[in-house]
Amino acid sequence: MRALIGRIAASACYWLPATLLVAVASNQLRLVETASLSPWSGGGFGMFSSIDSPGHRHLHAFVLNDDIRREVAWPRDMKETVLRATTLPTPQRLAALATELARLESGGPIRWDAIELQVWTVDYQPDGLSPSGRLVVKERFDLAPR
C-alpha cells in the first residue's frame, strides 16, 4: 500500500495538472446544466462558443407588495456583485444580492413585502438576428416585516 501511494505521488507530475483541468471543466459542464452558469465562465473552455456570455446577461429586480410592483435601480458600485450573480445565478447568490438590494429600498415610506430577481439573457433568431430576451432564472425573496 505504501509503495503504491509512493508510486502515485511520484507520478503526480504527469497526472495531476491534467486531472485538475478535467475535474474543473467537467464541473463547469455540470454547473451550466444545473445552476445556469454562463458557458463563458467556470474554466470549461466554452468562451467564444456561445452567445450566452456574462455580458449578454442582465438583471431585473422588482420590489413588491400587495398593490405595487416597482423596478429597482442599483448603484454603480454594485456592478461587480450583479455581474457575479448573473453569471452564476444560484439561489444563494441571488439571496445575497436580494438582501443588499432590499437594504437600499428599506427606510422609505412604502413597506415592501418581497423582492423578485430575474436574470435574463439575449437570444437571436438565426435568420435576421432579431434579438429577444430569454428568462434564465427567476427567484422571489420575502422580506422580513418591519
Partner 1 sequence: MHLADRSLFARAAPAGSLVIDLGLRLTLLDLLLRPVGDWALRPLILGLAAVALLRPRWLHQPLLWLALAGLTGARVMLDWPLADNHAYLLSYWCLAVSLALMSRDAHKPLAFNGRVLVGLVFLFACVWKFVGSDNYLDGTFFQVTLLTDPRFEGFSQVAGGLDAQTYQALSEFVGLHRDAVPPLDGSGVELPQRFVWLTWAATGWNLFINAALAIAFLWPPGRGPGHLRHALLLIYCTITYAVATVDGFGWLLLAMGAAQCSVEQRRTRLAYVAVFILIIFYREVPWAESVFLPLLAGPVVN
Least Å distance, CB 18 to partner 1, is 5
Cα 46 from Cα 25, distance rounded (Å): 9
Binding of partner 1 by 92 (CB under 8 A)? no
Binding of partner 1 by 32 (CB under 8 A)? yes
Cα 132 from Cα 75, distance rounded (Å): 26
Least Å distance, CB 103 to partner 1, is 24
Least Å distance, CB 113 to partner 1, is 23
Cα 107 from Cα 118, distance rounded (Å): 23
90: Cβ contacts below 8 Å, ≥ 6 apart: 35
Q: Which is nearer to partner 1, 117 or 143 (CB)?
A: 117
Binding of partner 1 by 22 (CB under 8 A)? yes
Q: Which is nearer to partner 1, 12 or 68 (CB)?
A: 12
Place of cell 405595487: 68
Alpha-carbon distances, residue 18 vs 22, 39, 141 (angstroms):
6, 20, 41
Binding of partner 1 by 48 (CB under 8 A)? yes
Cα 25 from Cα 142, distance rounded (Å): 35
What residue ranges bind partner 1 (CB under 8 A)?
Answer: 9-14, 16-18, 20-22, 24-25, 29, 32, 37-39, 41-51, 54, 60, 83-84, 87-88, 118, 120, 122-133, 135
